[in-house]
Amino acid sequence: MPQLRLALAQLDVTVGDLDANADKIVSWTRGAVDRGAHVVAFPELVLTGYPVEDLALRGSFVDASQSKVQTLARRLADEGLGDVVVVCGYLDRAAGTAMGVDRLGRPKGSPTNSAAVIHQGRVVTSAVKHHLPNYGVFDEFRHFVPGNTLQVIRIHGIDVALVICEDLWQDGGPVAVTRAAGAGLLLVVNSSPYEANKDDVRGELVARRAREAGCALAYVNLVGGQDELVFDGDSLIADAEGNVFARAPQFEQGSMLVDLDLPAATAIPVAEHEGIEIVHTVLHEEPLPAYEPLQPAIAPRLSDEAEMYGAVVLGLRDYVRKNGFKSVLLGLSGGIDSSLVAAIACDAVGPENVFGISNPSIYSSDHSRDDAAELAARTGLNYRVIPIQPMVQPFLETLGLNGLAEENLQARVRAVIWMGLSNADGHLVLACGNKSELSVGYSTIYGDSVGGFAPLKDVPKTVVWRLAKWRNADAVAKGQQPPIPENAIAKPPSAELRPGQVDTDSLPPYDLLDDMLDDYVEQDRGSAELVAAGFEPELVSKVVQLVDKAEYKRRQYPPGPKITHKAFGRDRRLPITNAWREDARKAADN
Amino acid sequence: MPQLRLALAQLDVTVGDLDANADKIVSWTRGAVDRGAHVVAFPELVLTGYPVEDLALRGSFVDASQSKVQTLARRLADEGLGDVVVVCGYLDRAAGTAMGVDRLGRPKGSPTNSAAVIHQGRVVTSAVKHHLPNYGVFDEFRHFVPGNTLQVIRIHGIDVALVICEDLWQDGGPVAVTRAAGAGLLLVVNSSPYEANKDDVRGELVARRAREAGCALAYVNLVGGQDELVFDGDSLIADAEGNVFARAPQFEQGSMLVDLDLPAATAIPVAEHEGIEIVHTVLHEEPLPAYEPLQPAIAPRLSDEAEMYGAVVLGLRDYVRKNGFKSVLLGLSGGIDSSLVAAIACDAVGPENVFGISNPSIYSSDHSRDDAAELAARTGLNYRVIPIQPMVQPFLETLGLNGLAEENLQARVRAVIWMGLSNADGHLVLACGNKSELSVGYSTIYGDSVGGFAPLKDVPKTVVWRLAKWRNADAVAKGQQPPIPENAIAKPPSAELRPGQVDTDSLPPYDLLDDMLDDYVEQDRGSAELVAAGFEPELVSKVVQLVDKAEYKRRQYPPGPKITHKAFGRDRRLPITNAWREDARKAADN
């Protein structure tokens, strides 16, 4: 059977940085060609970065992408890379449209989510995404018009069908006609965001679609952090029977080269099937001379904890770097959340670029100060102690605050200190709250919630402990010092804003709370379903009300990497003004 | 011709408050019936409020809406209101679907944006929105599945076609088959958000569609504030020639009764046209006995300034009330922004519920303190002076801040004071920044940007002055005290964070800046187009870079009422991590 050496290049690019992204595409193409690749496939919208959001509606941005993909094609040929077939996602505009002919309800300028096929200095054809996802983190009906064709490119005697991301996930559309088109390989370019355990779902999907299409399937995915999204790579290839025989690592930029034996293209192309136009482009009719294939590799799967930790580290590292920061600053309370964030930050940007500030108050315990100092010593981050009482006192004297107002005041004075140091020295401030706290509004707005990024925003408290334990155990396994003091993991959580305070004064135990939040937030179940699941009605009422009331606080919280199925902000978009109240007690009576 | 007395009830409801919204519908139905109405039409999704956002994806919420519309139908009959025909927007679920049969890419549970026709204690039929807007402030592809029918209801011998909001705006769909269906009246129920001058567009649209449909057209719209959106009412009726002969006021809850003479229904209904199913429901074959009609009224149009001011006042009043606050607090600098916000707040919630805090620093001018005190005296709001130096000093001594960090510190100390008073006394804090400042990031994050609502968030600085002058002139015209000190309007704007500072140290004059922002932000034009329009390339580069860099600050800003075509947040959704740079100098060379 004809052979083909395919490179799946899972790159980490930056949204909007067309020049740098094009440079990367050229450099990774050269690397793949040096290793003998015949086709190099890059992810969905790799040239612009993903997601572009409303940049898609700016005419100047679409123009720049269109022009850049043409320049890229010429440059690849100029640099001696014209023979290889390059597949490169970019932003295009639907044929026959211009900025002047906008139609109500259709995205301005009719942008398309496209993938160019580049060969011998030209864009020889272009696939247009057919299924536009518009749920969860996706808003593609807002940004793109759909295509309605399947592109099939004959490369060295093999018919390669090309589709984009969601086209693989949904029934119908171009993937459904791949078999009728007689393709020997289905190539799917993706920018598919990370979510815990999604790699399993993806592997199964790829296997199933390969069987349906009756041909091998190659899947290349983006890598890197982009605001709340983390792309995990995990590119993979299955044979026509659905056996995954090559798989790239998660969270690492790289290029996976795989040799494929594929059926020779048939002579007569089908022009249309089930409403999808099939467009054939012939680059080479003849197969390559036989050559010795490479052995495919399957990257080892990560544990659940390693995967989540990797996502948070990459999300933070890329947010810092891509936004032009060099260092981060965080408040170190000695508690588990800030300890874990500190460990993550040290892994993301190096301890020399992490600044931990301990801000003890008159309510802070000795163990808090000790644990913070111990963490700093273990990790080697930059550590500074600034007691807050001298700054808290004048506010208390002037305003006469007490109770909750006094508690919040302490958190806000800390925030003013962090932001002052950030302004003076250019650090990005990290917020250390976790998803469980955020769910129920257990944080001080403009206090512990200030900052540019919140690594644990989508990590429930019970998972915070799991990740801390995993990180320490992983260090031990590697013969390194575990970064997080054991006492920070073991002690009961407390905000320490008044004497003797612990979180369970106001909240149920976190294992119970996280169970309820999984039902209410992740699964969108109602009070009645929570009660039916065995949770106590009074507690359901309390938790549901806390979650509903905290929407404004969550909106003000910095972005953080998406880890779970339903991250606040992108996945779960609720009104602030919202009088909807589910009555758990009524539900219990039904 | 047969007669009909139609009530268009433009209500102010609260998202999620099904019980209270249903009570309102009953009470306004009774009021309309007392005045002889035969049909009472309420706005789109009046039962749930609009927009419901991801509440549409919660099964328990859709269940509650479905159940509530049935209860409402029975209750209307029980309360002696069964004879009148009530049209009531509510959230439904597409026929044949349940929460268990979700399909990828289709909103979970298949919710529909529906309008029930209620008569004699029953929901006799239901229209489903066909065109789902998914641009600007709208995300309806995320939340609803579309309908594909035109409902025609025979009421007292007249065929009334019923459609929902966007169905009127876009070509094709049910409105396009109204003429073929032989309707005598096209009734459109809406939740159409306010935008400056949209009332003119709406009036023209209604006139054009009436002519296309060849019948009278009645348009009823929601009233009230919902987070960033303000609904302005402006319900209206045109005859078959497109003459608008009745129009309700903007920004006022109320019910407009109009008597119509309409063509008698024809005998043979059409069942389908251009792919749209036409569903006929007969309530009464026979026309009513002739009666003496009411004279229609056309509410006087508001000036541009009166309209914008009205939108901001209503947006603020409803945000305060619907979120359970009773009072507001704001920092009074003596400048034009906080002076205008204070005047708006006094109009929205009454001066007795407005708390103005003057926080002079060592850099504050005498005129600032005087102007703030003068404003307080003129409006009667609660006024308190708290100098910030005693609180600023300990931070400066401890942290050794200077330059921008010291400027920001002052703004943040003020914010800590406001939030402390808010926590202690329950006031909603108002942020006073305007759209021009926000565009270019001229504000201190966690400083002047704190608060729950930002009335001027979508008001450009040049419009701030126009509104201030208008408000004062309006007071004079009514023989009242103008609320805003003339000096606050006349003096050059300054943040007063360092000696002698004025805004034009860092920014171009506001009339020039607002012109550029109109091109770059409102119209989405690129650098090249701004240069072509005559703006100086260096200045274009500077402004475009400031706008692009300020995205994070804008995301952290509190919500504010949408006034312009492109409000930050809902209309303009851009990535934070975004390396896209338009080069104005390169553009100038092209």
Per-residue pLDDT tens digits for B240-265: 999 999 999 999 999 999 999 999 99
User: What predicted TM-score, i.e. pTM, was given to this entire model?
Assistant: 0.96
What mean pLDDT do residues B33-40 have?
98
What's B426-457 look like in SS3? Answer: CCEEECCCCHHHHHHCCCCCCCCCCCCECCCC
Taking the CA atoms of chain A, what radius of gyration do you get in angstroms?
A: 26
pLDDT given at position A120: 98
pLDDT of residue B574: 96
| pLDDT for the residue A268 | 66
Q: DSSP for A160-223? A: EEEEETHHHHSSSSGGGGTTTTT-SEEEEEE--B--TTHHHHHHHHHHHHHHHHTSEEEEEE-E
For residue A524, how many C-alpha atoms fall within 13 Å in the half-sphere facing its CB? 23
The reported pLDDT for the residue numbered B366 is: 84
Name, in order, each residue with C-beta under 8 angstroms of B73's C-beta and a sequence gap of 6 or more.
B116, B118, B121, B122, B123
pLDDT in tens, A418-446: 999 999 999 999 999 999 999 999 999 99
Mean pLDDT of B142-160: 97
Asked if residue A7 lies in contact with residue A18, where contact means CB atoms within 8 angstroms, the answer is no
Residue window 193-252, chain A: list those with CB within 8 Å of chain B: 225-227
Place of tokens 């965080």: A330
Whole-angstrom distance, CA of residue B523 vs CA of residue B564 = 11
Among chain A residues, CA nearest to B549? A323
Find, among A393, A418, A383, A330, the residue nearest to B393 by Cα: A393
Residue with tokens 């289709």: B106
DSSP assignment letter at B233: B
Q: How far apart are CA A407 and CA A505, in angstroms?
A: 14
| B437-476 pLDDT tens trace | 999 999 999 999 999 999 999 999 999 999 999 999 999 9
pLDDT band at A96 (very low <50, low <70, confident <90, very high): low
Residue A589's pLDDT is 65
pLDDT band for position A98 (50/70/90)?
low
Sheet holding A254-261, edge to edge: A122-128, A111-119, A85-93, A39-41, A3-10, A254-261
Per-residue pLDDT at B368 exceeds 90: no
Cβ-in-10-Å burial (0-12, 13-18, 19+) of B290 comes to: exposed
Residue A325: closest C-alpha in chain B: B577
| A68 Cβ neighbours under 8 A, 6+ residues apart | A18, A19, A22, A47, A90
- pLDDT tens string B98-120: 544 567 778 999 999 999 999 99
User: Alpha-carbon distance A255 to A145, whole Å?
Assistant: 30
Q: How far apart are CA A174 and CA A212, in angstroms?
A: 12
For an interface test with A, give the residue of B103, B577, B578, B581 to mutate (most A CBs within 10 A).
B577
ipTM (interface predicted TM): 0.95
- Percentage of chain A modeled with pLDDT above 90: 89
CB atoms within 10 A of CB A286: 10
DSSP symbols for B529-546 = HHHHTT--HHHHHHHHHH
- The binding site of B for ATP comprises 331-338
Q: Of B173, B184, B248, which Cα lies nearest the Cα of B210?
A: B184
Vertex A133: Cα angle to A564 and B547 (nearest 5): 80
Cα B208 from Cα B188, distance rounded (Å): 14
Is B305 a known active-site residue? no
Asked if residue B269 lies in contact with residue B152, where contact means CB atoms within 8 angstroms, the answer is yes
Q: Are B228 and A573 in contact (CB under 8 A)?
A: no
- For A425-510, where are the E strands, in sequence order? 428-429
Token representation of residue B496: 């007063």
Residue contact A578–B59, C-beta within 8 A: no
Judge whether B166 and B143 are in contact, CB under 8 Å. no
Q: Is B384 on the interface with A (CB under 8 A)?
A: no
The closest alpha carbon to A526, from A564, A583, A571, belongs to A583
- Residue A349 has which token pair? 């940007």
pLDDT (0 to 100) of residue A271: 84
A195 is known as an active-site residue? no
- Measured CA to CA, the distance from residue B145 to residue B138 in angstroms comes to 14
- The bridge status of strand A3-10 relative to strand A39-41 is parallel
- DSSP secondary structure letter of residue A362: T
- Buried/exposed code over B491-503 (b: 16+ C-beta within 10 A; e: otherwise): bebbbbbeeeeeb
Mean pLDDT of B193-222: 95
With beta carbons less than 8 A apart as the criterion, state whether A570 and A136 touch.
Answer: yes
Cβ–Cβ under 8 Å, residues B580 and B248:
no
- Exposure of A219 in the CB half-sphere (CA atoms within 13 A): 35
CA distance A82 to A76: 6
Q: For B562-570, what is the mean pLDDT?
A: 95
Contacts of A141 in chain B (CB under 8 A): 134, 141
Please give the Cα distance from A520 to B267 (Å, whole number). 52
Tell me which chain B residue has its CA closest to the CA of residue A524: B58
Rg of chain B in Å (alpha carbons):
26
Nearest to A399 among B319, B417, B581 (CB): B417
Q: Check residue B589 and give its pLDDT.
A: 64
Query: Residue B187 corresponds to which tokens in the numbers above?
Result: 């009734």
Q: Compute the distance between CA of residue A225 and CA of residue A206 in angstroms, rounded to an integer.
A: 24
Are the beta carbons of A435 and A572 closer than 8 angstroms?
Answer: no
B590 pLDDT band, cuts 50/70/90, is: low
Is the pLDDT assigned to residue A536 strictly greater than 70?
yes
B323-350, pLDDT tens digit by residue? 999 999 999 999 999 999 999 999 999 9
Which is more confident, B96 or A192? A192
Dihedrals phi, psi of B186, to nearest 5 degrees: -105, 115
What value does the mean pLDDT take over residues B8-22? 98
**pLDDT-based confidence at residue A502 (cuts at 50, 70, 90):** confident
Residue B64 has pLDDT above 60, yes or no: yes
Residue A469 among the catalytic residues: no
**Among candidates B135, B416, B579 on the partner chain, residue whose Cβ is nearest the Cβ of A15:** B579
What does the pLDDT average to over B481-510? 90
Question: Which residue intervals of A441-564 are DSSP H helices?
Answer: 461-477, 486-490, 510-517, 527-532, 537-549, 551-556
Give the pLDDT score at B96.
65
- State the pLDDT at residue A227: 98
Kindly report the three-state secondary structure assignment for every residue of A310-342.
HHHHHHHHHHHHHCCCCCEEEECCCCHHHHHHH
Q: Which of B429, B441, B451 is nearest to B558 (CA)?
A: B451
With a pLDDT cut of 70, the percent of chain A lying above it is 97
Q: What is the mean pLDDT of chain B?
A: 95
What pLDDT, on the 0 to 100 scale, is given for residue A97? 58
Which residue in A88, A165, A346, A432 is the catalytic one? A165
Question: How many percent of chain B have pLDDT more than 70?
Answer: 97
The encoded tokens of residue B264 equal 């008698």
Cα dihedral B96, B99, B104, B107 sign: positive
Q: For B568, left (φ over 0), alpha (ψ -120 to 50), or beta? A: beta
Which of A211-225, B374-388, B503-517 has the least mean pLDDT?
Answer: B503-517
**Range scoring the smallest mean pLDDT among B77-91, B148-162, B484-498:** B484-498
Q: Inspect the interface and report whether the beta carbons of B391 and A386 lie closer than 8 Å.
A: no
Contact in structure between A244 and A203 (CB atoms under 8 Å):
yes
pLDDT given for residue B82 in this prediction:
98
Exposed e or buried b for every residue in B514-544, given b needs 16+ CB within 10 A? bbbbbbbbbebbbbbbbbeeebebebbbbbb
**Cβ–Cβ < 8 Å for B69, B101:** no
Mean residue pLDDT across chain A:
95
Pairwise CB contact (< 8 Å): A16 & B578: yes
Nearest chain A residue to B522 by CA distance is A58
Residues of B in contact with A319 (CB under 8 A): 577
Provide long-range contacts, Cβ within 8 A and 24+ apart, for B537-540. B537/B584, B537/B585, B537/B587, B537/B588, B538/B584, B538/B585, B539/B508, B539/B512, B540/B516, B540/B584, B540/B587
Mutation target among A165, A577, A590 for the B interface, most CBs of B within 10 A: A577
A298 DSSP assignment:
B
Specify which residues A258 forms β-bridges with.
A6
Task: Give me the residue from A105, A169, A409 closest to B420, CB to CB.
Answer: A409
